[in-house]
């Protein structure tokens, strides 16, 4: 559980859900952001989902219900009504590159957010600022390009990818794509692809019973050995140790 300071208008938490939730409402606003898995949700009769591409804002008093068919993890912000006036009245919003960057940070720094209220407040402030519209037309264009690139990567983690492939899909140049990744995500396209492949592999290892060899191919590695090498090099863990730890928590 990640909690902001008690006097702050924001409570930030990392939550997992199981099954269906009965219709309910609450007297505060709430933002639900994806970490892993999918949430099918209905807010005031309007259906949608929270997944890698989309989050949801639940207004104070809004009747809502949801279900989570698979293993999952979501970042949830409970917000006092006066603190979220800039969020607008549309429940669903796209996970833009700036928001994705914040989610990646949260994924790899959960312990620090969990134990450092000031850091949780700063993270939340950055999230709110990411909802603001771009100030220049060129910024909007760049966000569209990067959003397309991230969507293409997410949908093709199982397959070989080159920067040329991604650039062609986004109708931009390889050079511009490298620039956008460095400016917005502080990493190269290849580093981002590797990170996302390993994130998905970890989710599958923890949340499914699929074989390690099958998971390796599902996230773009030739075999179990290649996935093991990548996880060991990047995170100093192995697929077997991740699965063993997940089973021990059940």
Q: What is the CATH number of the domain that holds 215?
A: 1.10.10.60
Residues 164 and 198 in one domain: yes
Question: What does the alpha-carbon distance between residue 79 and residue 241 come to, in Å, rounded to a whole number?
Answer: 37
Q: Is 9 left (phi over 0), alpha (psi -120 to 50) or beta?
A: alpha
Task: Count other C-beta atoms under 10 Å from residue 186's C-beta.
Answer: 11
Amino acid 34: pLDDT: 92
Q: What range does the domain containing 177 cover?
A: 137-250
The answer on 124 and 18 residing in a single domain is: yes
pTM confidence score: 0.57
Closest CA to 158 of 222, 226, 229: 222
Q: Kindly give the confidence (pLDDT) of every residue in the chain, 250 residues in length, as a single tens digit, with 9 standing for 90 and above.
A: 333 333 344 688 889 998 899 999 988 889 999 988 889 999 999 999 998 888 999 988 899 999 998 888 899 988 877 655 556 667 888 888 888 888 888 887 777 777 777 778 778 878 887 877 665 556 667 877 888 888 888 889 999 999 999 999 989 999 999 999 998 888 899 999 999 899 899 989 988 889 999 999 999 999 999 999 999 999 999 999 999 887 887 6
> Among 95, 130, 165, which residue terminates a domain?
130
Domain match, 17 and 122 both:
yes
Is residue 67 classed exposed, middle or buried when 0-12, 13-18 and 19+ CB atoms within 10 A define those classes? middle
Domain contains 3: no
Please state, in angstroms and as integers, the Cα–Cα distance from residue 65 to each residue in 48, 55, 68, following that order. 11, 15, 11
In a domain, 1, yes or no: no
Together in a domain, 148 and 211: yes
Domain count, the chain: 2
Name the strand (E) or helix (H) holding 166: helix 163-170
Residue 66 lies in a domain: yes
């Amino acid at each position: 559980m990640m909690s902001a300071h008690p006097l702050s208008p924001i409570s930030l938490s990392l939550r997992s859900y199981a099954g269906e939730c009965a219709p309910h409402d609450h007297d505060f606003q709430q933002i639900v952001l994806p970490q892993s898995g999918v949430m099918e949700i209905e807010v005031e009769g309007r259906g949608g989902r929270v997944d890698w591409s989309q989050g949801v804002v639940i207004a104070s008093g809004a009747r809502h219900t949801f279900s989570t068919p698979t293993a999952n993890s979501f970042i949830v912000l409970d917000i006092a009504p006066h603190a979220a006036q800039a969020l607008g009245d549309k429940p669903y919003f796209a996970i833009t590159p700036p928001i994705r960057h914040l989610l990646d940070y949260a994924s790899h720094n959960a312990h620090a957010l969990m134990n450092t209220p000031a850091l949780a407040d700063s993270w939340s402030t950055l999230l709110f600022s990411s909802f603001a519209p771009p100030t220049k037309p060129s910024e909007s264009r760049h966000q569209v390009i990067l959003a397309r690139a991230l969507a293409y990567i997410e949908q093709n983690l199982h397959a070989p990818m080159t920067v040329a492939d991604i650039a062609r899909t986004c109708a931009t140049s390889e050079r511009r794509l490298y620039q956008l990744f460095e400016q917005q995500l502080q990493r190269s396209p290849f580093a981002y692809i590797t990170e996302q492949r390993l994130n998905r592999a970890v989710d599958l290892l923890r949340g499914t019973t699929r074989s390690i060899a099958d998971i390796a191919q599902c996230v773009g590695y030739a075999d179990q050995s290649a996935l093991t090498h990548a996880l060991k090099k990047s995170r100093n863990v192995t697929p077997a140790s991740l699965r063993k730890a997940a089973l021990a928590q059940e």
